[in-house]
Structures are given as structure tokens and as C-alpha cells.
Amino acid sequence: MILNTLIDDLGYSDQVIGVEVPVQMGSTVHDKPADIVVFTDATRESHWITVELKKPDRRDGIEQLKSYMNAAGSVFGLWTNGADEKFLLRVNPNDFSKPIWRLPKSGESLDDIDEPLTRKKLVPVLDLYAVFKDIEQEILAHQSLDTFEEIFKIVFAKLYDERVNLKNDGAVADFRLGLTEDPSTAADRVRALFDKARKKWKDVYTTQSSIELNNANISYCIRALQQYHLIRSGDVLGVAFELLVNKEMKGEMGQYFTPRQVVDMATTMLRPRLTDTVCDPACGSGGFLIYPMRRVFELINETWDDPDDRAEQRKDYAQDNLVGMDNDPRLVRVAKAYMIMENDGRSGVTAVDSLDYGAWPLTTRQSVVGRPITQAQSSPQQLMKNRADDDGVDLILTNPPFAGAIKTVSTLRQYDLATRDNGGGLKPKVDRAVLFLERCLDMLKPGGRMGIVLPQGLFNNFTEQRVRDYVDERARILAVIGLHPYTFKPFTLAKTSMLFIQKWKDDDDRDADYNIFTAVSMRPGKTKLGRPQYLDDGKTLDCDMPEIAEQFLEFARAENLDFATES
């Protein structure tokens, strides 16, 4: 294991690594050789790193390692029993007073690894979930805490450092642990970053919130994350946190992380516009909000020449035109952080049960309606009675939880599809997917578009005919895309499709025949184990969803659909 670390992670050649190396102690050779030695070069004359290995139940050997380092002149030392490890730096003979937290990579000197950490040195991270899992295991080994919450607090502090402090390549990160720095100093610096972030972005954490990790665990988090530039890492933050959420709890509700290839396909198909209000009533980490926002930002950059105007337009759009809801407050915090990474658009994301309109705060109701309303005007009955032609949102993209049924009477009373087919009162329970579908139709303004992931049964089960008729009465069906069974692996093999609709306007001819685009995704970009499936270049997902999206747009232009023909 240690040899793999030295060769694969630190880059040392096996030509400079020795095992069971005799150590000269004065005029004699010690009777116990050094377990592993990394030499300065292939001549194997000068020791660079000495490694002392112990069995898992052993805690001794540190002093022996120091004596070997002094005798052989090693600069660095590593002691490990497999479960714990300690790094040593020999500043002078018998001087091991400066703590370090890692060994140098091949080609690095002490000066190289103890230089200030600047923005220029930060790199994107490809698999943040693996980093989070490693951090999670380390935390749980020492503290019984909510690891999701504590890891997110650390990330929140780092995002503040990247967004506020790292303004140029030469800027030095506060989120760092120097090679010889006292871990408690670095931990205090990260706590200060969190406090500043909490004050700047007030709707993410309360004033009472604080990092509960001890100094050792904070230091471990810093070491794991400090070399990465999260803001430049694309979607990995939202992906990692969605995967980190308790899978069993998410699975019980039939709510699974939406692969970004699905998000990208839906966004491409429905073409968000500069004036569109975009809503996801089950937003998770915010992917179905971020992708439309990026598309609109591209339009803003094409429309406005002045950089200051562009920045102002982007900020206004992010804060005024994005409406997100999720029942899991943890993921709402992630979505807000995701917005911070993109352009600081946080205000429209709320922790609320989108199926229970009565629980919505007034600000959320106003965002969905699209205009100021009073509390007295905000009841469903009043809004339907006084609904303006342009009330509602322009675009809904969502992958709602659809397992299980809703039985709460106060919630069911809000839905047409919760009534019995013969008009004889409420049903005792209704599937979540059905209620989400109706709720989304209610939120759309006339002419508004929607893409929603639904269980396959809603499309072909005989018992769901009333639901299909209800959709047909209220909207034009644009497309149905069958998703491959591997799409939501490794969490489920549930059969799903994505429904795309456009809500009828008053002057539309609802009885006229029209064409519907259909397709089935055969290459989801995933293996049967749920891992990414790449083309031969090793970088491009083997996925047909971009092709499906382009084929749909050709269809939509041929059908003269307004959102497809407008620039």
C-alpha cells in the first residue's frame, strides 16, 4: 500500500526506492533495517525519505524512525500502522519540531511544497464525491456528527475564499494548511472564512451556525480540498453532494440524482430565453436551474457589449428569474452554493414542500405568480379567480420524487386529480408523480413549456388514462423521450420517460391534430453499474441525448413552435 502511494501518487520511480535497507549507525549497521527508503537519485547514496511500518495494534516506533533519519541523513520520515500516520521533517540533527502533513512528490523540494498556495496553483477536481467519501470516513472515525452538514460548511468556507479572496492568480488562499503550519491556526482561519461567508450570504446559514469539527478534522478537510478550484470544476459540486445525501432516504421517495446529460438535453430542447422565469419544484442541488441560467448568460453575452452591463444583467437574471424548491433543506443549501459558484443567484431557492401550496412563503408564491401579491390574494382560490393572462412561470424543468403516495387530506384538496373519477369526493391517496404533474401545470403560464421526468406507467398503464387526458386538455404534448434503464444507475433501474409539453393559450385550437416527437435513448452515457461510459477518446460520454435534442429542435422548427424559431 505504501509502495503504491510512493510510486502512483507521489511519482517516485522504483529505481530510487529500497525495501529493508540497512542503516549505518556510527561504525556499525543497525540490526533492524529501515522498512522503506526513498533515495535522492538512482545511485541510492543519499536518503530522502525513510518509512517505518508497524502492525495495526502498534503505536511505537517514532523514536526509532527519528534515529534512522538522523543516522542516514533523511529529510522526511513517515510512520504508519495502517490506520494512522505521522509525517516528520528533520530540520537539523535531532530537530523534528516543525510538523508537516504530507511527503514531497518526486521533484519537489521543501521550498516547493511550503510556498504560499495561490490561485494559480489550484486545479479543477474531477471526482469530488471520492474526496467527500474519504473526508466522511475520517470525520466519523473521530467525531459523531452529521457529515453532510459539516463537509458542506467546509466547502461553503472554501467557496467564499475562492469567490471573494482569490481575485487574481497571485492571490494567496486563506483556505490552506502550510507544510509546517500549526493545524489549529489553519482551522481557525477556515472558521473565520465560514463566519464571513455566513454573513455575506445570509440565506444559506443562520447566525448561530458554526463549524463543529475539531481542529484535526478541519485540517484533514483542508488537506483534501485545498489544491482544488471548486468554482472552475463545473458540475462536480452539485453531483458530489447529491450522491452524498443518504441514498436510502432519497430512494424511499423515488428521488434520484438527475444525470447532467439529461439536464443538458432538456435545456437544449426547450431553449430558455432572456425573459423566461425558470422553475424546478424539486430542485435538488439545482442542476435544472443552473443549466438554463448558463444558456441565458450566453444570450446576455451575445446581446450586451459592455462588460458591466453583462454582469448586471446576469446578476439580475439569477436573482429574479430562477425559482427553486426542495423538501430537503440540505440540498437547498447546496443549490444556493451552486448559485454562488455561478453568479450569486440565491434568493429564489426555498426549502419547502412544493406539493403543499399552503406551506409556501409569500415570496415563493409571488415568484411563481410572477407579480407582487398580498397575503390575502395569495390563496389558490383567489389566484385562480383573479389570474392574469401572464401569471405563472415560463419554463419548468424537473425530476420530482415519484415513489409513494400522498395521503394528507389538506394537500389532496388542492388537486383536481385527487378527486374520484365519478366526482364522489377525495381519493384516499394519490401518487406523488400525479400531483407533481398537476402542480407544474398550474404553475405554468399559458404558452409556458415544461420538461418533467415521470415513471413509465403514467404513459402506458390503462389505469392512468384520466391523467393522460388531463394533460392533453391543458397542454400540447411536444415530445416523449424514453430514458434508458441505466440512466439512473446505480440507484435504480426504474423505467422512466421525459415528457415535454407547452401549456395551451386561450387562442390555441385544441382540437386540431398535431405531431408529437418521440425518441428512445439507447446510449445513456452509463454502464450497467452506473459508471460513466466514454467513447474511445476517454473524455466524451457515449451518450445519444445531444443528438436527440438536436433532432427535436429540427422537428420543433418544422412545426413552427415559437420557442424554437425565436432567436
- Report the CATH number that the domain containing residue 373 is assigned in CATH: 3.40.50.150
Show the domain range for 215: 128-239
Same domain, 504 and 540: yes
| pLDDT score of 359 | 83
Same domain, 149 and 70: no
User: Which residue(s) pair with 85 in the sheet?
Assistant: 80
| Residue 176 binned pLDDT confidence (cut-offs 50, 70, 90) | very high
* Spatial separation of the C-alpha atoms in residues 105 and 12, rounded to whole Å: 7
- Structural domain total, the chain: 3
| pLDDT score of 534 | 87
Same domain, 461 and 416: yes
CA dihedral 464, 465, 469, 475 (to 10 degrees): 50
CA angle 332, 337, 339 (to 5 degrees): 95
Give the best-scoring range by mean pLDDT among 84-98, 167-181, 395-409, 437-451: 437-451
pTM of the model: 0.77
Same domain, 206 and 233: yes
Domain boundary, last residue among 114, 141, 161: 114
| pLDDT score of 255 | 55
| Residues in contact with 371: Cβ distance below 8 Å, sequence separation at least 6, in sequence order | 388, 391
CA dihedral 139, 145, 147, 151 (to 10 degrees): -80
| Residue 384 binned pLDDT confidence (cut-offs 50, 70, 90) | low
The helix/strand/coil state of 303 is helix
Q: Is residue 246 part of a domain?
A: no
| pLDDT score of 99 | 65
| pLDDT score of 502 | 98
* Spatial separation of the C-alpha atoms in residues 504 and 421, rounded to whole Å: 23
Q: Is the pLDDT of residue 347 over 70?
A: no
Q: Is residue 244 part of a domain?
A: no
The alpha carbon of residue 454 and the mean position of all alpha carbons in its chain are separated, in whole angstroms, by 22
* Spatial separation of the C-alpha atoms in residues 271 and 278, rounded to whole Å: 11
Same domain, 213 and 324: no
Q: Are 73 and 47 in contact (CB under 8 A)?
A: yes
Residue whose grid cell is 518509512: 51
Q: Is the pLDDT of residue 64 over 50?
A: yes
**What integer is the mean pLDDT of 368-373?**
75
State the alpha helices, DSSP H only, in 343-422.
Answer: 362-369, 380-385, 409-412
Q: Is residue 78 part of a domain?
A: yes
* Spatial separation of the C-alpha atoms in residues 195 and 156, rounded to whole Å: 10
| pLDDT score of 91 | 77
Q: Which of 118-122, 470-474, 521-525, 554-558 has the lowest mean pLDDT?
A: 118-122
CA angle 252, 257, 259 (to 5 degrees): 145
Q: Is residue 57 part of a domain?
A: yes
Residue 363: all three cell numbers together: 415570496
| pLDDT score of 86 | 84
**What integer is the mean pLDDT of 355-379?**
78
The 8-class DSSP code of residue 161 comes to I
| Residues in contact with 325: Cβ distance below 8 Å, sequence separation at least 6, in sequence order | 279, 280, 281, 282, 283, 349, 350, 351, 352, 354, 364
Q: Are 408 and 461 in contact (CB under 8 A)?
A: no
Q: CA quadruple 53, 55, 60, 64: dihedral positive or negative?
A: negative
Q: What is the CATH number of the domain that holds 80?
A: 3.90.1570.30
| pLDDT score of 346 | 59
Same domain, 233 and 257: no
Question: Is 24 exposed, middle or buried (CB count within 10 Å of its CB: 0-12, 13-18, 19+)?
Answer: exposed
Give the best-scoring range by mean pLDDT among 113-122, 139-148, 468-477, 505-514: 468-477
Q: Which of 9-13, 19-23, 374-378 has the lowest mean pLDDT?
A: 374-378
| Residue 256 binned pLDDT confidence (cut-offs 50, 70, 90) | low
Q: Is residue 120 part of a domain?
A: no
Same domain, 135 and 105: no
Q: Is residue 54 part of a domain?
A: yes
Same domain, 177 and 50: no
Domain boundary, last residue among 239, 265, 284: 239
Same domain, 49 and 101: yes
Q: Is the pLDDT of residue 247 over 80?
A: no
Q: Is the pLDDT of residue 248 over 60?
A: no
Q: Is residue 245 part of a domain?
A: no
| Residues in contact with 452: Cβ distance below 8 Å, sequence separation at least 6, in sequence order | 396, 397, 398, 399, 400, 436, 437, 440, 498, 499
Provide the percentage of residues in the chain whose pLDDT is more than 90: 53
**Looking at this protein, which amino acid is placed at residue 167?**
K
| Residues in contact with 365: Cβ distance below 8 Å, sequence separation at least 6, in sequence order | 357, 373, 378, 383
Same domain, 281 and 302: yes
Q: Is the pLDDT of residue 179 over 80?
A: no
Q: Is residue 529 part of a domain?
A: yes
Same domain, 261 and 289: yes
The 8-class DSSP code of residue 268 comes to H
| Residue 250 binned pLDDT confidence (cut-offs 50, 70, 90) | very low
| pLDDT score of 249 | 43
Same domain, 310 and 435: yes
Q: How do residues 539-552 score in pLDDT, each as one tens digit?
A: 788 999 999 999 99
Domain boundary, last residue among 65, 86, 114: 114
Q: Treating both helix axes as pointing N-terminal to C-terminal, what angle do 236-244 and 329-342 enclose, rounded to 10 degrees?
A: 170
| pLDDT score of 254 | 47
372 or 441, which is more confident: 441
Q: Is the pLDDT of residue 343 over 80?
A: no
